[in-house]
Amino acid sequence: MKKMLNEVIPYVVIILAVILFRLFIATPVRVDGDSMNPTLKNNQILLLNKMDKNYKRFDVVVFNHNGNKLVKRIIGLPGDKVTYNNDLLYINDKLIEENYTRKKTDDFISDTVPVDMYFVLGDNRSNSLDSRYIGFVLKKDIEGTVNFSIIPPKKIK
């Protein structure tokens, strides 16, 4: 009995380590839809970094919305006012260059982003459920950032 227990313990430790790693450090997520084209493709598998909670402008994040995991790009930080005019991004009335999207964006002006919230957009602006429709995203609803694609393997810009 003791010999069998000694043989099982390493497997139990490995299983616990994998579970803890996926719960607290990183886990794979799948892109569902075309809202992040051309940066991310439908069904692409990403590595979600759950440790990164210091969100910056243009980070690609995964967050919960009505029970679904959405993948979007942070555009507006707390205190920002986001404006699109003639397909150009302005944050606090300053023109910001975007290198990750070529899609047209309807003109809009956001309210000031509240504390502990973010304004997110998909890179495929004509086909994205994002802050223009769902409002600001609470920091507590963001699960983490994605910087790496597992399938296909590549660094996300």
The DSSP output letter for 10 is H
What percent of the chain lies above the pLDDT cut of 70? 95
Which of the pair, 23 or 47, is modelled with greater confidence? 47
* Both tokens assigned to 109: 């002006």
Task: Round to whole Å and give the CA distance between 23 and 45.
Answer: 17
Between 85 and 102, where is the model more confident? 85
At 25, the amino acid letter reads I
The residues annotated as belonging to the active site are 35, 72
Task: Write down the pTM of the prediction.
Answer: 0.86
Note the CATH number of domain 27-155.
2.10.109.10
